[in-house]
Chain A
């Protein structure tokens, strides 16, 4: 008989204190995060006719409708840039956040069997759900590239900021997902509230119009929306120019950071009871 394999460290769990080592734990479970993300992406378009074509079709249709409603009917200006391109840049950013929040918020309830049957840091679940938004960004960017070519435009040096814009979008989506998913474990209201919240966010974010159209009197309030910074940054990265005053961008980013940090705190506080309540 072989001697028992024992790890050097001994873990002690005390009912009165929460489990520790959050970051180390998350790192230890990075492969699980990867596998769950891979599963979500892989399964997403299985047994669909259009497959990944959906991720291209949706921004195209949105762009067409925006051009008709916002540009033709409402006469919204796009600051010298072809409106369809202007709208599409915003749509790419918005979709990334909206998809991420949608998938992330539903992720815990969607993985109930994992939560009640296996241990791992629960944060892995909303984190890996972001992959769904991320997976759709690549086809959406391809659509944007085609649109650029159609309008005879070319991307500028600002494209270098794109990774930052994606990261910013994911951070905001993750922050919101943490709140919504953790709340959804106890309160099923989240499923009802989420579409409404996203719809509201859509109107108060510069997707179909530019942030420059917002009256100066409410600009500060407008930029408190964490999505304002994200979408304007996307517009800047993809189009080379956008209304993006540094101090307002920082304000928006700080609000996003606030949601992320408070989300992490809230998630960690309630995570230990997920298996009992879900």
Chain B
């Protein structure tokens, strides 16, 4: 490893919750006095929360380290400590070089001021010198693509323009160490790509970057190494792909096989209970959860129980968004296959769903009906929750969103 520029040595940060005189809960003087009078001895019993504890790690010069972890794992607290916004309760940190933190885009922007004025103001807030801002001004404005509106108050900007300008200022910071929190969550897909490109540039200028994100694709794409935080402690530091994998493993939202309860079946139809779905299993789970990488086909195995011999059965499924919008449906007869006859007993069915879904969370509905009577035989509207991840099967980041609802693919053949 190169020269360490950040060394954290058993860093800890404790927050005190509850109504003690010195606690965060005391909002007015009356509360504080009241608490002291009512329960003078309870001061020591205040609820304490260690947002971080025993955190030790080093970051070498020019390294770009991703920091991942669930909400509340301590990621933001770590950045706040390193950027000196708040003071550690225990431990030490050593920092070599000028440090700049980007915990939020547009900090200090004032709506009444023009774009130009805000560039200077925001630059100063982020720790840039006036001369430095003046030198980079044109570059910042060009990057943000707001040349025409630079002398317009930012309150007249669209959200996109505002965020672009805000990111542009931040991206042109000349710091040795850059602490970044979720900045990529700004702007449209095109601008996000541009931001990623800029981040890449930043790394290659020899800067050291600590990058906190929930976007696994951005972590594996930008950071060779990553740090996994859990419950305020470092669980793992290593190659980003491995750490992301470990995180997804630990962070399973649903197991890859799901037992379906009787109650999940819709029963308000004729013949309810004759066919019952018992289990849905994802054959190709990623990271041990009901999740597949981007573009990876979804291979399901259903196990179902039939109470009496059935003929003319058609199986179907539907993929819904988590807000309940049906995205697409398919029946096993779609391509000309015939309805099936099933004997009483337990059976299995393998399904391969072509994955044209964007990264995100989806709900699978599974059912069957009779091709003759059109009666529903069974229907489970929320058989499984499926996560489509923002990484490809090989761990490459996923970027091709283009603001669209689904993926498509096309075959391209060039000729004279």
Bound pair (A, B):
yes
Residues of A within 8 A of B (CB): 1-7, 10-16, 18-19, 31-32, 34-36, 38-39, 42-43, 46-47, 113-120, 186-189, 272-273, 275-277
Total B residues in contact with A, Cβ cutoff 8 Å: 55
9 contacts between A and B (CB under 8 A): A3-B206, A6-B96, A10-B95, A31-B129, A47-B112, A116-B85, A272-B87, A273-B87, A276-B24
With an 8 A cutoff between CB atoms, is B121 at the interface?
A: yes
Which residues between 57 and 105 of chain B lie within 8 Å of chain A, taking CB atoms?
Answer: 61-62, 80, 83-98, 101, 103-104
Bound CA–CA A255/B124 (angstroms):
35
Residue ID in chain B nearest A42 by CB atoms: B113
Query: Residue of A at shortest CB range from B132?
Result: A31
- The answer to the question of B249 belonging to the interface, with a C-beta cut-off of 8 Å to chain A, is no
- Assuming the contacts A119-B85, A120-B127, A187-B29, asked whether A2 and B206 have C-beta atoms less than 8 A apart, the reply is yes
The 5 A-B pairs at the shortest CB distance, nearest first, are namely A4-B61, A35-B124, A15-B88, A4-B206, A272-B87
- Taking a contact as CB atoms under 8 Å apart, the answer to whether B28 and A187 are in contact is yes
Q: Residues of B with Cβ closer than 8 Å to A?
A: 2-3, 5, 11-12, 15, 24, 26-30, 32, 61-62, 80, 83-98, 101, 103-104, 107-108, 110, 112-113, 117, 120-121, 124-127, 129-130, 176, 204-208
What residue of chain B has the Cβ atom nearest to residue A274's Cβ?
B86
Q: Complex Cα distance A120/B85, Å?
A: 8
| Chain A nearest CB, measured from B98 CB (Å) | 6
- CB neighbours (8 Å) of B208 from chain A are 4
A43 near B113: Cβ-Cβ < 8 Å: yes
CA distance A34 to B124 in the complex (A): 9
Do residues A4 and B107 form an inter-chain contact, with CB atoms below 8 A?
no
Most chain B CB within 10 A, of A1, A11, A118, A275, is at A118
Known A6-B61, A47-B112, A119-B83; contact A13-B125, beta-carbon cutoff 8 A: no
Instruction: Give the residues in chain A near B129, CB-CB below 8 Å.
Output: 31
Chain A residues lying within 8 Å of B120, measured Cβ to Cβ, are 35
Q: How far is the CA of A139 from the CA of B207 in the complex (A)?
A: 48
Which residues from B are CB-within-8-Å of A272? 86-87
Residues in chain A near residue B2, CB distance under 8 A: 4
Residue of A nearest to B31 (CB): A187
Is the beta-carbon distance between B86 and A43 smaller than 8 angstroms? no
Distance A250 CA – B98 CA, assembled complex (angstroms)? 44
Could you tell me if A189 and B97 are in contact, using CB atoms closer than 8 angstroms? no
Chain B residues lying within 8 Å of A46, measured Cβ to Cβ, are 112
Q: Are B121 and A13 touching (Cβ within 8 A)?
A: no
Name 6 extra pairs, CB < 8 A, besides A4-B3, A7-B97, A12-B95.
A6-B96, A15-B92, A43-B112, A114-B108, A118-B85, A186-B26
In chain B, what residue has the closest Cβ to A276?
A: B86
CA distance A7 to B127 in the complex (A): 15
* Cβ–Cβ contact A13 & B112, under 8 A: no
B12 touching A15 by the CB < 8 A rule? yes
Note all chain A residues with C-beta closer than 8 A to B15. 276
In the complex, the answer to whether A4 meets B176 with C-beta atoms within 8 Å is: yes
A2 to B208, CA, bound (A): 12
Decide yes or no: A6 and B176 within 8 Å by CB, A43-B112, A46-B112, A272-B86 being known contacts. Answer: yes
Q: Which residues of A sit under 8 angstroms from B112, Cβ to Cβ? A: 42-43, 46-47
B88 CB to nearest chain A CB (Å): 4
Is B125 a contact of A114 with CB atoms below 8 Å? yes
Give CA–CA (A118, B117) in the complex, Å.
19
Compute how far the CA of A168 lies from the CA of B113 in the bound complex, rounded to whole angstroms: 32
Write the nearest CB–CB distance from B322 to chain A, whole angstroms: 30
Complex-state Cα separation, A34 to B130, whole angstroms: 10
Whole-angstrom distance between the alpha carbons of A187 and B30 in the complex?
9
Q: Which residues of A contact B61 (CB under 8 A)?
A: 4, 6
Give A176 Cβ to nearest chain B Cβ, in Å.
17
Residues of A within 8 A of B86 (CB): 272-273, 275-276
Kindly report which residue of chain B lies nearest to residue A119, judged by CB atoms: B84
Most chain B CB within a 10 A radius of its CB, from A36, A113, A119, A188: A119
Please, which residue of chain A has its CB at the minimum distance from the CB of B124? A35
Residue of B with least CB distance to A190:
B29
Nearest residue, chain B, Cβ from A111: B108
**Given A187-B32, A272-B87, A276-B24, A12 and B92 contact (CB-CB distance below 8 Å):** yes
| Min distance, Cβ B34 to any Cβ of chain A, angstroms | 13
Q: Which residues of B contact A38 (CB under 8 A)?
A: 121
CB distance from B100 to the nearest CB of A (A): 9
Closest chain B residue to A47 by CB distance? B112
Contacts of A1 in B (CB 8 A): 62, 204, 206
In Å, the complex CA distance between A10 and B61 comes to 13
Which residues of A lie under 8 Å from residue B32 when comparing CB positions?
Answer: 187
Which A residues touch B127, using CB under 8 A?
32, 118, 120
- Kindly state the separation between the CA atoms of A35 and B83 in the bound complex, as whole angstroms: 21
Cβ-defined contact, A4 with B5, below 8 A: yes
Known: A3-B206, A15-B89. A113 touches B97 (CB 8 A): no
Contact partner of A19 (CB less than 8 A), chosen from B84, B108, B121, is B84
Closest to B122 in A: A35
Output the least CB separation between A103 and chain B (Å).
Answer: 15
CA distance A13 to B103 in the complex (A): 20
Given the known interface contacts A15-B89, A19-B87, the answer about A118 and B107 at a Cβ–Cβ threshold of 8 Å is: yes
Contacts of A115 in B (CB 8 A): 85
Could you tell me if B121 and A39 are in contact, using CB atoms closer than 8 angstroms? yes
Q: Give the complex CA separation of A16 and B93 in angstroms.
A: 12
CB-based contact A118/B176 at 8 Å? no
Residues from chain B with a CB closer than 8 A to the CB of A5 are 97, 176, 206-207
